[in-house]
Structure 1
Amino acid sequence: MTTDFLSLDELHCKVHALLETLYPNRDTDELTKACLDAIGPRQNKDVVAPERLWSEKDSLLITYGNSVREAGHKPLDTLQNFLHDNLQNVFSAVHVLPFFPHSSDDGFAVIDYTQVDPELGDWDDINALSHDFKLMADLVINHVSSQSLWFRNYQYGKDPGRGYFVEADPNYDLSNVVRPRTSPLLRKTETAEGIKHVWCTFSHDQVDVDFRNEQVLLEYLRIIGRYLDEGAQWIRLDAVAFLWKELGTNCIHLPQTHDVVKLVRLLTEYKNAHALLISETNVPNRENLTYFGNSNEAHIIYNFSLPPLVIHALLAGDCSYLKSWMMSMPPSPVGCTYLNFTASHDGIGLRPAEGLLSDGELQQMLGTLESFGGRISTRTDAEGNEKPYEANIALFDAFKGTYNGTDKWQVERLICSQTIMLAVEGIPAFYIHTLFATPNDEDKLEATGHNRSINRRNWSLSDLQARIDEPGGPGQRVFDELRRLIRLRSHQPAFHPNATQFTLHIRPEIFAFWRQSMRRTQSIFCIYNLSDQPQEVSLSDLNLISTETWFDLISDQPITDLYGKITLSPYQALWLTNYNEPL
């Protein structure tokens, strides 16, 4: 339910209650008013029914502002022109990864949240993108750059910044703190008050802010208000799981973190009823699901277990682990949904596969990805051991072959993986390099020394155009087919993000599930051959209703014998349906 169903008094009451829990020693009446002032004036007073927050027409493109470059042009201009010419009628939403001045991590060490990186463009360019697409912006909420004004002021004991950062005694036992890196947690820092040790979950250039200080909360509410005013509609809460720190705890998923997310949702919906919060929590599946709350935290959560399980299934030719996970996944709550993806600017997260893939299966998958040119990044666990955290590889090269080695089916495996993602419950999200079948960027990896650079290529527009125009080349084949499939999906009510999903049981080489539209006007049986051999499927196993006409959406071929058999080529997908809406 959105806050538009609440009276202003009810909104005040809910905000007040959360603030009273988070900041019990503050004047909560005054702080409630300050929060409403910080988020800024309302943009609309619409009433949005939960099922209308998104539809089968929604799909998301993930890109850096400079993923495509052209000499003499601002990167954001080049990006907008490319999207307008090639993808405007394909994607409904675009996630432009952090586009702010930054000092490291390709944007995730933000120097100034209020400015667009001048090397990319300006706020007018961001606003122009928001007119063509729903725009997702990153709220890097856990940390800021060590070169930010806040951190410099902290060092000099000035406002704003004084009291904004988490300090800890280096002699305190912090070994139980969960974090995704191997670097030391604390950074030694000179300040006007002497040497301090500040908390750095990710790197010493990314210093964690202290939400125990209510002024930090107000700063981020102002930033959210600015993003919404500049045209962003979807707000991605980056690394939000680590937000609240309490000594003596593991400092991840703390109750206060969930309360901050609830508070942000209330205030964001108050400002704009169409605005959506997306939580980015690269953690084991059960932990990730908690960010739905009671339909009062994130509207959308990343489906982090999907990438490693889809990749495993296609490398192994076996859907057993993928199917078991899908059977265990709950339908998303009312007013919530999943964001499905198989590749991103980061690597393939491995923590979300914990408890889902056996150690043996995980090691075999990682060894295969390394043989295809991938790298493995690690984290340090509570015992001080290094453990695999993510696999860094371009998705196209992750599908160079199978556990048996490289083969000729690389393009087919990539398309199959995306066809799975398009059909699973939720909203599909495509990393821009998947569309082009971009291979590993070994040159950028060598230049930066950072594993994640392998999948963060910057294309020149001319080189990219040549790749997607090359007749019969992998770039053209993938680009054309994925655009066709995304458009095809957008006309199927059974692919509404909240439509019913039911897992089917055929055999390990065949992954299959059923989707039914919310008004029960359409069924789609999604069937995938995950192997490099032809596979036969008996249609009688699907129990297709004999009084209806069935056909395959992907090939546009009718099903003439509902009790016969279909042979699927290696990595072929079928979307069998009883419904046809002209494109």
Structure 2
Amino acid sequence: MATVIEALQQKLTQQLDCIYQGIDIDMQTSELAAQLIEIMRITEYCQVVEPFANHWSEKDIIMITYGDSILKSNEAPLTTLAKFIDSYFNCINGVHILPFFPYSSDDGFAVIDYSSVNEGLGSWADISAIASKRRLMADLVINHCSSRSLWFENFIKGEGVGHDYFFCAQPDDDLSQVVRPRTSPLLRPTETANGLKHVWCTFSHDQVDFDFSNPKVLQEFVTIIRQYLDAGVNIFRLDAVAFLWKIVGSKSINLAQTHEVVRLLRTLIEHAQHDAVIITETNIPNTQNLTYFGNANEAHAIYNFSLPPLLINTLITGSCLYLKRWLMSMPPAQDGTTYFNFIASHDGVGLRPAEGLLEEEEIKTLVDTMEMFGGKISCRTTETGEQKPYEMNIALFDALQGTTKGKDTWGLQRFLCAHSIMLALEGIPGIYIHSLLGTRNDYEKLANTSHNRSINRHRWDFDQITAELSNHASEHAQVLTEMTKLINLRTQQVAFSPNATQFTLHLGLQLFGFWRQSRNRKQSIFCISNISDQVMDLPISELNLIITETWTDLISGQEITDLTETIALQPYQTVWISNC
């Protein structure tokens, strides 16, 4: 054990040397490394770290939800959520509960107190109860906290814990290169006991950014990580981590120190709990996003942010040109890493990850179509001062209610087609609770908050949604039934393991397909979707299926007896043709 700890301390010291190079901190990095080991209680929990280990399988599906997405009178929302999951989502083995802490804005992402559960949601006991049955994913809101936090109050007072936690700059500093997804002023003037300070705010003036050049901030977050592990958190979502390190005069995004902090957190977490996972939330262009894998020593998983806009574009245009081109360019994730695939979440559909992948005209058509289906568009200010669409805010079920030609009758089929593609792709699927329930745009909440993202953050009344799900003719019941069927099929196929082999098929622009093969090479699945509103013929002979094996479409259950036949795929129909 002593040798393991010594090696760990040496590794952490090297990482801290990289992070704080050129910065005068009040202790030796070796001393800081020892303190981090103590905070994480690694001497008590130290586990053998197997390099390049995959702590996931085809059975892993993560459901994304707010703690209060389902509400019942006189019951803590987390208690209601747990009951609802047990009743309706038994096909799901993981849950991402979005920030469940006291907060002041941004639906939880302006955290007031990281160590407490929002009393309006429940308690740590409720969190641990959910974690006892499923893998629990929680947010580490690491870039910023609420301006109403005790830490920021102490910053204003100039004393106490947090008084030196926040990053400040000067209005006359060169901040022209800073990349951020908001149009509000970057600096927040704040009167403090030490005079007027200008606090860096990447997102809003209620979300004040931390200064990680102060090691106390790092120590604070390592303390938070240990508490979350103790509560049963198994997956850490590093929110907005790309903006973590700031340097005046730079873009202050994706800096080398940020990557080193991610590497250090992975080192600490995997030594404390070997199967815990880090997922980086970096809503940035695809090539930048991929760098957060490092050499299988940074994020275990990265959000596949380019998938949502490309897949929606494919289904509304009836052409898979851009989706196929992107898929062919994506490197297979090496062992120890994987993709986190999603097509809907609590946020909107980001457009920056489509930059360089979709033509400007394609993006304009996509934006116009989403507006036609009732969506809202959020913009950012570019380096030249131009207003540019940054995010499309719309419920996925509404986003897929038609094509560029307008709404049609294929909405449900198109919606299910999107998920049949996502569920089969290399990586771990993340499914938003409102996609499982077929929730529509919430215009009432949008009007009440005036925040575009509210359109896709509906809160269901427990009795209302259970009544809808009991009515087999309701749209919501149909969505859940079909989604459950797809999920159950996926979790039974070893060829859908997140790191199983994947190759893109070339079947024209209206048929999107790829081939998955299990790592033991025993199972092959050809995943082919008609992404158009017309019947399309699929010549089985083009798949070169092995004639000595029996092939079956897993979704329909139909056996393919003639390998020379042609299958007529209905609009938005998907087949998963498997040999076992």
Aligned to 1:203: 204
TM-score by length of 2: 0.98
In the TM superposition, what is the alpha-carbon distance from 1:7 to its structure 2 partner?
Answer: 2.5
Are 1:123 and 2:124 counterparts?
yes
SS at match of 1:132: coil
Match of 2:5 in 1: 8
Say if 1:48 and 1:274, in contact at 8 Å, map to a contact too: no
Task: Quote how far apart the aligned CAs of 1:467 are.
Answer: 2.2
Aligned to 1:238: 239
Q: 1:151 to 1:423 in 2, by over 3 A?
A: same
**Taking structure 1 as reference, are residues 199 and 49 closer, same or farther at Cα in structure 2, changes over 3 Å only?**
closer
Partners of 1:40 and 1:222 within 8 A in 2: no
Q: Distance in 2 between matches of 1:14 and 1:294?
A: 16
Indicate the SS of the match to 1:261: helix
User: Aligned to 2:453, what secondary structure does the other structure show?
Assistant: helix
In structure 1, how many angstroms separate the alpha carbons of the residues matched to 2:362 and 2:286?
A: 18
* Structure 1 residue ranges (4+ consecutive) displaced by more than 3 angstroms after TM superposition: 41-44, 46-52
- The whole-number CA distance in structure 1 between the counterparts of 2:432 and 2:39 is 33
Instruction: After superposition, give the CA deviation of every residue in 1:195-241 in whole Å (9 maximum; x if it has no partner).
Output: 11000000000000000000000000000010001100000000000
Q: Does 1:173 align with 2:174?
A: yes
Aligned counterpart for 1:20 among listed residues 17, 20, 29:
17
Q: Write out aligned runs for 1:527-542 (5 A).
A: 527-542=528-543
Structure 1, unmatched stretches of 5+, are none
Counterparts in 2 of 1:156 and 1:175: CA distance versus 1, 3 Å:
same
Q: CA deviation at 1:44?
A: 5.9
Q: How far 1:158 moved relative to its partner?
A: 1.0
The 5 A counterparts of 1:22-421 are: 22-24=19-21, 25-26=24-25, 27-41=28-42, 42-43=44-45, 45=47, 50-88=52-90, 90-421=91-422
Q: Distance in 1 between matches of 2:51 and 2:17?
A: 30
How far 1:384 sits from its partner (Å)?
1.4
Partner deviation per Cα, 1:280-334 (whole Å, 9 max, x = no partner): 0000000000000010000010000000000000000110000000000000022
- The one-letter code matched in structure 1 to 2:534 is Q
SS for the counterpart of 1:7 is helix
Contact 1:284 1:353 in 2 (8 A): yes
Q: Is the 8 A contact 2:531 2:571 kept in 1?
A: yes
Give the distance between the partners of 1:572 and 1:477, measured in 2 at CA: 16
Letter in 2 for 1:118: E
Q: How far, CA to CA, are the matches of 2:300 and 2:288 in structure 1?
A: 16
Alpha-carbon distance between aligned partners in 2 of 1:524 and 1:421, rounded to the nearest angstrom = 14
Question: Deviation at 1:23?
Answer: 2.1
Give structure 2 stretches of 5+ with no counterpart: none
Q: CA separation in 2, counterparts of 1:288 and 1:480?
A: 34
Q: Is the 8 A contact 2:180 2:202 kept in 1?
A: yes
Tell me by how many angstroms 1:463 deviates: 1.2
Question: For 1:44 and 1:218, how far apart are their aligned partners in 2?
Answer: 19
Checking the alignment, whether the CA contact within 8 Å between 2:49 and 2:270 is kept in structure 1 is: no
- 1:165-211 per-residue CA deviation (whole Å, 9 max, x = no partner) reads 11111111212100000000000101001111000000000000000
- What's the CA shift for 1:38? 2.1
The residue type equivalent to 1:23 in the other structure is Y
Quick check: 285-294 or 381-390, which moved more?
381-390
Please list, as runs of the form range in 1=range in 2, the aligned pairs for 1:551-566 lying within 5 A after superposition: 551-566=552-567
- Is 1:498 matched with 2:499? yes
SS of 1:222's equivalent? Answer: helix
Letter in 1 for 2:57: S
- Give the superposition deviation at 1:373: 0.3
Distance 2:337 2:258 in 1: 19
Matched AA of 2:430 = A
AA aligned to 1:446 is A
**Structure 1 residue 47, shift from structure 2 partner:** 5.4
- 1 CA distance for matches of 2:405 and 2:147? 46
Structure 1 counterpart SS, 2:368 = helix
Distance 1:43 1:393 in 2: 44
Task: Indicate the larger mover: 8-17 or 522-531.
Answer: 8-17
Residue type matched to 1:518 in 2? R
Structure-2 separation of matches of 1:375 and 1:43 = 48
Query: In the TM superposition, what is the alpha-carbon distance from 1:48 to its structure 2 partner?
Result: 5.2
Deviations 1:391-435 (A, max 9, x none): 000000001110111100111111100000000000011000001
1:533 CA drift (Å): 0.9
Q: Contact 1:279 / 1:300 at 8 angstroms: preserved in 2?
A: yes
Could you tell me how far apart the structure 2 residues matched to 1:408 and 1:195 are?
59
C-alpha contact 1:103 1:110 (8 A) present in aligned 2: yes
* Superimposed CA distance per residue, residues 328-371 of structure 1 (whole angstroms, 9 cap, x where no aligned partner): 00000220000000000000010000000000011001101001
Q: Which amino acid aligns with 1:117?
A: N
- Could you say which residue in structure 2 is the equivalent of 1:484? 485
Matched letter for residue 408 of structure 1: T
Tell me how far 1:468 sits from its aligned partner: 2.1
**SS of corresponding position for 2:495:** helix
SS for the counterpart of 2:132 is helix
Q: Which amino acid aligns with 2:86?
A: H
1:512, 1:526 within 8 Å by CA — same for their partners in 2?
A: yes
Whether the 8 Å contact between 2:379 and 2:391 is mirrored in structure 1 is: yes
Quick check: 1:289–1:301 contact (8 Å CA) kept in 2?
Answer: yes
Tell me by how many angstroms 1:477 deviates: 1.1
- The one-letter code sitting in structure 1 at the alignment partner of 2:62 is L
2:450 & 2:221 partners in 1: Cα distance?
32
Question: How far, CA to CA, are the matches of 1:386 and 1:216 in structure 2?
Answer: 34
**Contact 2:52–2:296 (Cα < 8 Å) also in 1:** no
Residue 248 (structure 1) shift: 1.1
Identical-residue share of aligned pairs (%):
54
TM-superposed CA distance for 1:462, in Å, is 1.1
CA contact under 8 A between 1:309 and 1:321: conserved in structure 2? yes
Root-mean-square deviation (Å): 1.2
Q: Residues of 1 paired with 2:54 and 2:208: CA distance?
A: 38
Contact 2:48 2:271 in 1 (8 A): no
- For the residue of structure 2 that corresponds to 1:536, the secondary structure is strand
Once the two structures are superposed, what CA deviation does each residue of 1:496-546 show, in whole Å capped at 9, x if it has no partner? 000000000011110000000000010000000001111101001000000
- C-alpha separation between the residues in 1 aligned to 2:488 and 2:142? 34
Aligned 8 A contact 2:427 2:497 in 1:
yes
Looking at structure 1, the residues matched to 467 and 354 of structure 2 have their Cα atoms a distance apart, in angstroms, of 37
Paired positions, count: 574
- Secondary structure, counterpart of 2:197 in structure 1: strand
- TM-score w.r.t. the length of structure 1 is 0.97
CA contact under 8 A between 1:175 and 1:382: conserved in structure 2?
Answer: yes
The answer to whether the 8 Å contact 2:49/2:271 transfers is no
